[in-house]
Structure 1
C-alpha cells in the first residue's frame, strides 16, 4: 500500500502571521529594533507627551477664564514651558519722557498636573513598544538622544510662541487710574506717593497731583496707559528644565518598566534590582490615587453651577499634584512657608519718595489710601492644621500612613523572594523587612525632595519711574528641602518595614487558606489538636 503525501497548504498573504521563530534552546526569538523604527518611536513619544501637556494646559486655562486676559494658545505654550521648569518674564510700561513708568518681573511656578500628564504619556509611548522587541544599549541610547533632540526643538517652539500681552484685571488698573475705585484721594499713581495728604493739599497731596495728573494722554496719568503687561518665556531655563525633566522620566522608566526588553546590563544592574520594586510600588500608588482624585475633582467641580465650578476644575487639572505633594509632605512633618518682601532701594528715587511720602499727612507715605498692602508671612505645618479642626489634623496623617504602608506592601510583593533549595526563605521576615525599609527610604527621600523643589513658587517685580528704581516686591512659597530629605528617609523606612511585615502576614494567611482548600482533613486535624 502506497502512501500518498498530503500537499502542504499555502498560507494566504492575508492570514495571521506565524509565531516568532524559536532559538535552539526553545525560547522565543525577540526581533530587534531597526534604527529607523527606533527614531520614529522616539519622535512619537515626544509628540504624545507635548500633545498631552498642551491639551491639559488648554483645558485648565480655559476653565480659569484665561482667554479673557490673553491669547489661549500663547498661554498654553507658556504653561508647557513652566511645566518643565522654565520661568516667565514680565515687562510693561506707560508714559514717556520725563514721566515714564516701568514694571519688570519674573514668575517661576511648575504646574505639576501638566508635568505629570506629559511624563506618563512619554513613558508609555517610549517604553511600551519595547515589550515586543529587543533593544541593546547602543540603540537605547540613540533612542534617548533622538527624544532629547525632539524635546529640545519642541520647547524652542513653545518658548517662541509664548510671547503675548497680559491684560491687567480691573482691580489692578483701578488702582493705577485716576478716579478708580482704589486710587485714593489723589487718584492714579498719586495714591502711591503721599496717599491722601491733608484736605488743604499738603506736600503728599502735591506729589499725588504731580504723578497722578501730569502723565498726559487720554488716560490722565501714568497709570492710565498701563492696561497690559507683556510676558515671555526664558529660553535658557526652559531648555535646562526640559533636559532635567526628560532625564528624570527616562531614569524612572528604566527602573519601573517591568515588561520592556531592556539591555541585560540594565535589567540585572544594582539600581534596578535594589530601587526598582520600591520605585514601581510608589509610582503605582501615586498614579492610582491621582487618577481617582483627577476624575472626582474635575467632574465634581464641573457639576457645580457657575464660574466657581469651572475655576475649581481648572485648578484641579493644573495643580492637583502640587496640592497632593504639599499635603503629603506636611503630613510627614515637612513645613511649607509663604513669605513676602517689600522694599525700596537705598538712596535715589526710592529714598526720596520714602522721605517725601512720610510728610504727606496722616494718610501719606507709600502704601497709603491707594498703596499696596503686605500680606503676613505664614507657615503651614502639621501643628497649624489644628486651626482647621481636629478631624483634618488626625485624618490627614492617618490617610498618608495608610498610603505609605500600601507602598511598603507592594514593594515586598514585587521583590523576588530568595529561597533555599528546600523552598524555605533564605532570610527571616525581619531581615527582609529591614531590606525593604532601606530601599523604600531612599525612594521616598528622593520623592519628597523633588516635591519640595518642584513645588516652589516664586515671583518678583520691580517698579521704576523716570528710569530709576522705586520699589521691589517679592513673594515665594517653598518647603524645607533639608527636612524633606530627612523625613523622607524616616517615613520610607517605617513604611517599608511595616508594609513588608503586613505582606508576609497576608501571604501566610493565603498559604494556610490554600492548604485548607486542598486538604480539608488538615484543617480538621489542626482544629482537634488545638482543642
Structure 2
C-alpha cells in the first residue's frame, strides 16, 4: 500500500506534461484552421489568386484569438486607398476555445483539489506551445492581392495604373500579447465552468456561487448557437444558398446569434452599412443599417420592417429562463431564491457585456483617384455595428434578477444536488 501511495502522485504529475500540452495546442489550432478553411471555402475564398487562400486562413485564425491584422492599401502614385477591419470570426473563436478548454481539463479530471503551482505549471506548458503556434500563424498571415470590382470612373483606374491592391499582415508582438490573454481567459473559464475540475483549496469556498452561474452562461451561449445552426440548416434546405449559409455558420454564427440574443433582451445597437460592401447578414439587418449615417438597431426598428422580429423577445426570454433554471438545479439546495437572483444578475450582466464587446464590427475600404471619391461613396464601402454597453449591462442585470428569482422558486420543486435546506422551527 505504501509503494502504491508513493507512485500515485508521480502518475498524476505525468498526466499533464509536455506531450499532453502539445496535444491540446495542436488540436485547438487544427480545429480552428479546419473551421476557418471550410468557412472561407464556402464563401468562395478558395479562388483567391497567387496562393492567398492558406494565408487568409491563417489571418482568420489570428483574428479569432484576438490578434491584430493590419490592412494596407496601394493604388498607384496618383491614387490613395484606405482599409481597416475590426471584427472577430466568432465561430472559429468558439471552436478553438471549446477544444482548448476541454483538453486542458482532461488531465485534471476526477480530482477535487489541485495546488496553485500545479495548475500554473500545467497552464504554463500550454501557454508556451500556444505562443509558438501563434507566432508561426502570424508569420504566414500576410499577403497582397488586387481588388477586382466594377470601375465607376469609366476606365480611368486602369488607364492610370491605379488598380487598387490590398495587403494584410499581422502585428506579431500585439498578436502574441492578446493571444496569450485570450488563452488565459479560456483556461480560467474552463476551470470555472467544469464541476469536475480541481481548484486550489483557497478557492473552494467560492465554487458554489460561481460555478453554477458560469456553467449556465456557457450553456446559454451554446444553446443560442444550436438554435442558429438549426435555423441555418432550415434556411439552406428551403431557400437555397447553401454555400453562403455554411460560410456564415462556420465563420460568423455567434456574431449573428449573440447579436439577436442581446436585441431580444432589449439592447440597442448603432451602426451603418454604406457602399457595395456588406456583411453576410439577414436582409432585414442590412435594410435597417442602411437607413442613415448612424442607424439604430433594436426590436422596434426591426419590427417596423418585419413583425416576426418580436419572436426574438420570446426566444431570448425562454433561453435566459432555461439558463436560470439550470443554474438553480446545479446549485446546492441551501441557496435561496434571492441568492439565485443575485448570482444570475451578475452573471448575465457580465455575459451580455462581453458578448456585445466581442460582436462589434467595424470595416471600411475606400479609393480616391485624382480627387474623385473621398475614400468612400461609390469607390468604397463601410460597415459598422456598435452596442450600447451600459444598456446591455443594466438589462442583463434586470433580466437576471427576474429569471433567477422565479426559476430559483421553481427549482425548489425538483430534486437538486447538495444538502437539504434546514428545517424551519
TM-score (norm 2): 0.83
Match of 1:414 among 330, 333, 340: 330
Residue 328 in 1 paired to residue 261 in 2?
A: yes
Corresponding residue number in structure 2 for 1:90: 71
Separation (CA, whole Å) in 2 of partners of 1:313 and 1:451: 22
Instruction: Indicate whether 1:188 and 2:156 are aligned.
Output: yes
Shift of 1:138: 0.7
SS at match of 1:450: helix
Match of 2:398 in 1: 490
**2:407 match:** 499
Q: In 2, distance between residues paired with 1:89 and 1:499?
A: 47
1:411, CA displacement in angstroms?
0.9
Aligned position for 1:437 = 341
Say whether residues 1:252 and 2:222 are aligned partners.
no
Q: 1:332 to 1:301 in 2, by over 3 A?
A: closer
SS of residue paired to 2:299: coil
Give how far 1:389 is off.
3.0
Task: Indicate the structure (1 or 2) with the bigger Cα radius of gyration.
Answer: 1
Write the deviation string for residues 108-130 of structure 1: whole angstroms up to 9, x where unpaired. Answer: 11011000000000111000221
Q: Deviations over 1:69-127 (max 9, x none)?
A: 2522111110011111223322232444xxx3232422111011000000000111000
CA contact (8 A) 2:345 2:401 kept: yes
> What's 2:22 paired with?
43
Question: Aligned partners of 1:139, 1:477: CA distance in 2, in Å?
Answer: 42
Match of 1:79 among 55, 60, 68: 60
Q: 1:324 to 1:501 in 2, by over 3 A?
A: same
**Helix, strand or coil at the partner of 2:12:** coil
Match of 1:284 among 214, 219, 242: 219
Stretch moving more, 127-136 or 457-466: 457-466
- Root-mean-square deviation (CA), in Å? 3.1
Report the Cα offset of residue 139 of structure 1: 1.7
Q: Which residue of 1 aligns with 2:118?
A: 139
Aligned to 2:135: 156
How far off its partner does 1:40 sit? 2.5
Of 80, 86, 105, which residue of structure 2 is paired with 1:127?
105
Task: Describe the shift of the 1:166–1:457 C-alpha distance in structure 2 as closer, same or farther (beyond 3 A).
Answer: farther
1:229-278 residue CA offsets vs partner (Å, 9 max, x unmatched): 22222324422331232122112112111112333333x142x2212111
Secondary structure, in 3 states, of the residue corresponding to 1:231?
strand
Query: Structure 1 residues 374, 255: CA separation in 2 closer, same or farther (over 3 Å shift)?
Result: closer
Q: Deviations over 1:48-89 (max 9, x none)?
A: 111111110000000000122252211111001111122332
- Alpha-carbon distance in structure 1 between the residues aligned to 2:407 and 2:73: 55
Indicate yes or no: 2:251 matched with 1:318. Answer: yes
Distance in 1 between the 2:116 and 2:22 partners? 19
Q: Aligned with 2:159: secondary structure?
A: coil
How far, CA to CA, are the matches of 2:97 and 2:262 in structure 1? 21
Pair 1:109 & 2:77 matched: no
Which SS does the other structure have where 1:110 is aligned? coil
Deviation at 1:341, TM superposition (A): 9.2
Residue segments in structure 2 that go unaligned for 5+ positions in a row: 276-289, 377-381, 417-425
Shift of 1:444: 0.9
- Structure 1: gaps (5+ residues): 1-17, 24-28, 176-181, 190-218, 343-372, 419-426, 509-531
List per-residue Cα deviations over 1:354-378 (Å, max 9, x = no partner): xxxxxxxxxxxxxxxxxxx996432
| Aligned partner (choices 229, 244, 254) of residue 166 of structure 2 | 229
Q: Are the counterparts in 1 of residues 15 and 107 from structure 2 also a CA contact under 8 Å?
A: no
* Aligned pairs (5 A) from 1:339-488: 339=272, 376-393=293-310, 395-418=311-334, 432-461=336-365, 463=367, 471-473=374-376, 475-488=383-396
Q: How many residues align?
A: 392
Evaluate the alpha carbon distance shift between residue 102 and residue 436 of structure 1 in structure 2; reply closer, same or farther with a 3 A threshold: same
